[in-house]
Amino acid sequence: MARKSANTPYYNSLVRILQRTSMADIKRFRDFIKSPYHNKSKKIILFFEQLLKLYPDFNIDMLNKGFFAKKLKRYSISNDSTFRHLAGDISRIFEKFLVFEKVESDKCLWHDLLFEKIYETNLHDVLGNRVKKFEKFTRKNIKIDSLSLISLYNIEGSILNFFSGNISDNKKINEHKMEIRKKRHNYLLLFYLVEMVKELDEMENIRLQSGLSVEKTFPVLSDKMKLIEQMFEMHSQLYGKGDFTPASQVYYSLYKLTVTPSNSLYYSDYKNLLLKYEERFSVSELTYLFNKLIEINLIRLTRYYSGIRLRREIMKIYSLILEKGYYDKIFGKYMPIEIYRNILVISLSLKMFDWSNNFIVNFNNKIIPGERKNIQQYSLSMLAFEKEEYEKALNYINKINPQRTSLKLDIKNILLKLYFIMDYNESAISLLDSYKTFLQNNRSISADRKIRHQNFLKVVKQLIKYKSEPAKIDLESISEYISKSPYLIHRKWLVDNIDNLRKNREIAVKK
């Protein structure tokens, strides 16, 4: 029965939660789960303590050998139903823990909930004692994000209710009420601005990923852009010199860059404002804002520019995130594999081999434990390939069993390049067919991305044919296609290998 239980979705879900949780958070969760206020079941505590002995790898084989059955005989943990219930209970308690942690760390949200509860329980006198403390707190400690803005709006409403309950002709009190209303309006307006810029960005991403034309989406986008412009103008006129002006400036620059990502001036404005005011934003908001900085650079790289200057700029941003320790704030304990991959690919494209090797050594342990071995072999194969150590690259890549679509695509690309360079033509042709089928059947790959990969396959197929029948393939036509096609990956590699084919052909003709 233990073998069956180890593979239940309850267990798998709980393991993924714990694998992505730092030991510091695990320790706090242990205290949380032991508190009788949150959990009164000793069985859950004992089960959790035994489960932690498998942290962070959670070896399935140990479970299949009756790990829990031996340790907790009196509770019959080997029973599949008991196993499912305990794993589910711990997952639900962990959800409560996350909420508790969020409220504890977010003082705006904490005050919002406190003031609401005070009114629910008619403890108005307590609220009066909290007003001055909160107003002192807001001047120094507010970290801006959408949740904090709406919390501030609610809090000022609670404070306003307190003053409204005390009818007075006192001029200072009435002026204070008007100031509170002005603050509320500022928070609400800025909240809508932030959310509308994010929504516009998401709409544009959906359009690009699904291959929708600008004509089909422009009417909606145009109306939204007009409204955003009007709201930013209103905010600038009313609150141009307020405490939240930095947030407005950052998001307005992001809005302009989202609409016109190719504009270098807009990019510089956004980057400089973000770096200037980064301390004003919450961790969650910094995550979004820095990710947008990287994402826009990648869009510019694939759609508008392909030069070395832009790749160096992207590398500067990644280096900044790593050197200042932002990745801890932005990504948490474990670095997302897509981010790790992007950093590695960009550094290798710049031939920063020593830097890339140090990155692999120092940051592989930042990948979630279950993916580390695959990512390490993948990274070493990429490094060996760029250093033209092709046999070594092939050896590394054959040890990988990827689960993620992005890694599968990368590995197929490396393999195809290796087969081409090493003249494994039959293997290359076979891979071309399976690669094409993979692209057709995989729904998680955007239409835009599929086209880029499919075009790459078409060019490689022609180059393979050229090796055996050079008279039937026109390299000049292929070169022209590469230079003009806006949807194509590994453009430089293709150009370099066409040059090599030309040189080899010239040598063969002379002989």
- pLDDT tens-digit series, residues 65-122: 456 666 666 655 556 677 778 888 999 999 999 999 989 888 888 888 888 888 788 7
pLDDT of residue 308: 80
Query: CA-CA distance, 205 to 447, in Å (whole number)?
Result: 12
Q: Which residues of 267-279 are buried (b: 16+ CB within 10 A; e: fewer)?
A: bebbbebbeebbe
3-state SS, residue 99: helix
pLDDT tens for residues 314-340? Answer: 898 888 888 877 666 666 677 888 889
Task: Please give the residue that has the higher pLDDT: either 64 or 327.
Answer: 327
**CA 37 → CA 28, 31, 40, 307, distances in Å?**
15, 11, 7, 59
Residue found by looking up tokens 């400089």 in the block = 272
Query: CA-CA distance, 353 to 109, in Å (whole number)?
Result: 46
Q: Are 208 and 487 in contact (CB under 8 A)?
A: no
Q: What DSSP designation does 142 have? A: -
Query: Does 56 sit behind a cis peptide bond, omega within 30 degrees of 0 on the bond before it?
Result: yes
Q: Which residues of 35-52 are buried (b: 16+ CB within 10 A; e: fewer)?
A: eeeebeeebbebbbeebb
pLDDT of residue 436: 93
Angle at alpha carbon of residue 20, lines to 14 and 25, rounded to 5°: 95
pLDDT tens for residues 224-267? Answer: 788 888 888 888 888 766 667 888 899 999 999 988 888 889 99
Q: Are 465 and 497 in contact (CB under 8 A)?
A: no
The pTM of this model reads: 0.69
Residue found by looking up tokens 């890694």 in the block = 407
Segment 25-29 long-range contacts (CB within 8 Å, at least 24 positions apart):
25/101, 25/333, 26/52, 26/55, 28/97, 28/101, 29/94, 29/97
Query: CA-CA distance, 217 to 185, in Å (whole number)?
Result: 31
List of residues 6+ apart from 73 with CB closer than 8 A: none
The whole-chain average pLDDT of the chain stands at: 82
**CA 484 → CA 115, 287, 488, distances in Å?**
62, 36, 10
By the 10 Å C-beta count (0-12 exposed, 13-18 middle, 19+ buried), 120 is classed as exposed
Model confidence at 354, in pLDDT bands (50, 70, 90)?
Answer: very high
Asked whether the predicted pLDDT for residue 31 surpasses 90, the reply is yes
Q: Are 33 and 48 in contact (CB under 8 A)?
A: yes
pLDDT of residue 415: 94
Share of the chain above pLDDT 70, in %: 82
pLDDT tens for residues 440-497? Answer: 998 888 888 899 999 999 999 999 999 888 888 888 999 999 988 878 888 889 999 9
Query: CA-CA distance, 257 to 297, in Å (whole number)?
Result: 11
pLDDT of residue 3: 40
Here the tokens at position 402 are 């990827």
pLDDT of residue 242: 66
pLDDT of residue 206: 75
Here the tokens at position 487 are 């949807």
Query: CA-CA distance, 217 to 226, in Å (whole number)?
Result: 14
Query: CA-CA distance, 243 to 326, in Å (whole number)?
Result: 24
Single out the residue of 206, 301, 453 nearest to residue 318, CA to CA: 301
Query: CA-CA distance, 511 to 507, in Å (whole number)?
Result: 6
Beta bridge partners of 281: 144
pLDDT tens for residues 362-414? Answer: 999 888 877 888 999 999 999 999 999 999 999 999 888 877 777 889 899 99
Asked whether the predicted pLDDT for residue 2 surpasses 50, the reply is no
pLDDT of residue 353: 95
Query: CA-CA distance, 96 to 111, in Å (whole number)?
Result: 19
The DSSP-derived string for 136-190 is HHHHHH--BSHHHHHHHHHHHHHHHHHHHTS----HHHHHHHHHHHHHHHHHHHH
Single out the residue of 171, 107, 162 nearest to residue 139, CA to CA: 107
Residue found by looking up tokens 């789960």 in the block = 33
